Amino acid sequence: MIIRESKFSKFLTYTVLSLITLLTLLPLIWMLSASLKLDSEVFSLPIRWIPKNPQWKNYTVIWGKIPFGLFVWNTLKLTLVITVIQIATSSFAAYGFSKINFKGRDFLFFCYVTTIAIPWQVYMLPQYSLMNKFHLVDTHIGYVLLQSFTAFGVFLMRQFYLSIPNDLLEAAKIDGLNDYRIYFRIVLPLSKPSLATLTIFSFVTIWNDFMGPMIYFNTTNLKTIQLGIRMFIGQYSTEYGLIMAASVVALVPVFIIFLAFQRFFVQGIATSGLKG
């Protein structure tokens, strides 16, 4: 009797999880289906999930109608550079906030982390005015500088570093290692799960950013893929098939990054909150 109840419980659990997964993937399936349709067929009812005449040309038209390749390159370049910088600054700052004792450390960390609660819209205009004074508006360098530091990344990495025993670091100091060598030779190799988690968050956030590039980039040659997708929306008509095709292309790098780091992702989330 107990075995039957256990099997039924597992069956019910897997059924519910399968339904939730299907509901989660449904918009993505619809987007993929719509990318192979004509504009007149995208919102037709009932929904035809498998197009009768797939419009594969949508995936070739998007590259010629706008400088889509340039937008992909700009987005990839900015995303990779900012992600690397955020990982470096966040991990290094988190090491200082967790393993180095100095006066006012906890108060400074508290003040820094509370900036997470401040909406970007609050300091958006002052930030723009400051960047304009430095003549960094409409430049990739200005956008990179704005995104180089992330309080969330410091918080995430610090939580993981707190789980590393201090005795291990003290033993390294006895062996003659200074804080910099401890950071590079001991702490970083142990923090692969947390680094992978931060990589995914940073990559996805920068890749999908729309407001930042829209505000700071005016020149077409500097724009990103998200702004490029918006170009398919005209004043009098919207090319939904091309929008969906471009959206599918924009989703591919994010999917690849997640697959590359997924084995560290759950482990990083689990271990980042062991100590507070």
Q: State pLDDT tens for residues 169-179.
A: 888 888 888 88
Q: Work out the pLDDT band at 90, boundaries 50, 70, 90.
A: very high
pLDDT one-digit tens code per residue, 32-48: 888 888 878 878 788 78
Q: How many residues does the chain have?
A: 276
pLDDT at 3: 60
Q: Minimum mean pLDDT among 153-162, 252-261, 263-272: which range?
A: 263-272
The mean per-residue pLDDT over the stretch 53-78 comes to 90
Checking if the pLDDT of 268 tops 60, the result is no
Higher-confidence position of 261 and 178:
178
- Identify the residue with better confidence: 148 or 239: 148
Alpha helices in the chain (DSSP H): 2-34, 39-42, 58-65, 68-99, 105-113, 124-133, 140-146, 151-161, 166-174, 179-182, 188-190, 192-207, 211-216, 225-230, 240-271
Q: How far is CA 86 from CA 72, 100, 156, 200, 225, in A?
A: 21, 20, 12, 12, 21
pLDDT over threshold 70, residue 196: yes
Domains of the chain (ranges, CATH numbers):
60-271 (1.10.3720.10)
CB atoms within 10 A of CB 100: 12
> Terminus-to-terminus CA distance in the chain, angstroms?
44
Confirm if 261 and 144 have CB atoms less than 8 A apart.
no
Q: Cβ distance 134 to 142 under 8 Å?
A: yes
pLDDT band at 265 (very low <50, low <70, confident <90, very high): low
Mean pLDDT, residues 103-110: 89
- Cβ burial of 147 (10 Å; 0-12, 13-18, 19+) is buried
- Tell me how far CA of residue 55 lies from CA of 32, 50, 51, 68, 104, in angstroms: 11, 11, 8, 19, 62
Mean pLDDT of the chain: 85
pLDDT in tens, 133-192: 999 999 999 999 999 999 999 998 998 888 888 888 888 888 888 888 888 888 888 888
Do 196 and 87 contact (CB within 8 A), yes or no? no
pTM for the whole thing? 0.84
Tell me whether residue 46 is exposed, middle or buried, using C-beta atoms within 10 angstroms of its C-beta: 0 to 12, 13 to 18, 19 or more: exposed
Query: CA 187, CA 93: separation in Å to the nearest integer?
Result: 13
| 53: pLDDT strictly greater than 90 | no
State how far the alpha carbon of 215 is from the alpha carbons of 9, 58, 233, in Å.
Answer: 52, 29, 18
Give the per-residue pLDDT at 177: 82
Percentage of residues of the chain with pLDDT beyond 70: 92
